[in-house]
Amino acid sequence: MLASDAAFRYDFAMIAAPQWFTWALLSAVFAALTAIFAKIGLAGVDSDLATLVRTGVILVVLAGFVAATGKWANPLALSGKTWLFLVLSALATGASWVCYFRALKVGEASKVAPVDKLSLLLVAVFAFVFLKERPSGREWLGILMVGGGVLVLAIKR
């Protein structure tokens, strides 16, 4: 192995993203595609019906994924607390999707999606209050910059 090969491997290891970041980045890519595909698919369709169709597709795909990867477990074996918070999460997701699809139906995807990402600021605040998470000053600055970007989009000229 050449010295330059070792240097390249070392440098690459230094920039390799943590696993959570890779998944989060993929989530962002798919969320962006969601906005574009949904905006096109909403033409001539009620946004609530479109949300239902989307949810049905997600249910089928996830059921197949869980079965194919051997991750199926008896959901009745989950604790009451787990059920409570998964149901609350599902209700919040459903409400978010209904609102998001209605916004996409009447607004531009390039404006709706960034405003939807105000959730980043809200997650940070909620995590601070309820989960006792403590983002660093640098992280708060980035979070506030996203919030500022949403305000720039929302302010009319």
Residues 32-39 have a mean pLDDT of 92
Tell me: pLDDT of 82 over 90.
yes
Q: Where are the alpha helices (DSSP H) in the chain?
A: 3-15, 19-41, 47-68, 80-106, 109-116, 119-130, 137-154
pLDDT above 90 for 1 = no
Residue 18 DSSP one-character state: P
Give the residue carrying structure tokens 């000053």.
137
Q: Give the three-class secondary structure for 131.
A: coil
The pLDDT value recorded for residue 154 is 76
> Between the CA of residue 54 and those of 21, 34, 57, 142, what are the distances in Å?
26, 10, 5, 32
pTM of structure? 0.77
Q: Tell me what the mean pLDDT of segment 3-17 comes to.
A: 57
Alpha-carbon distance of 91 to 61, in angstroms, equals 20
Determine the Cα–Cα distance for residues 87 and 134; give it in Å rounded to an integer. Answer: 26
CA distance 116 to 108: 12
Asked if pLDDT for residue 2 goes beyond 90, the answer is no
State residue 4's pLDDT score.
Answer: 55
pLDDT given for residue 14 in this prediction: 55
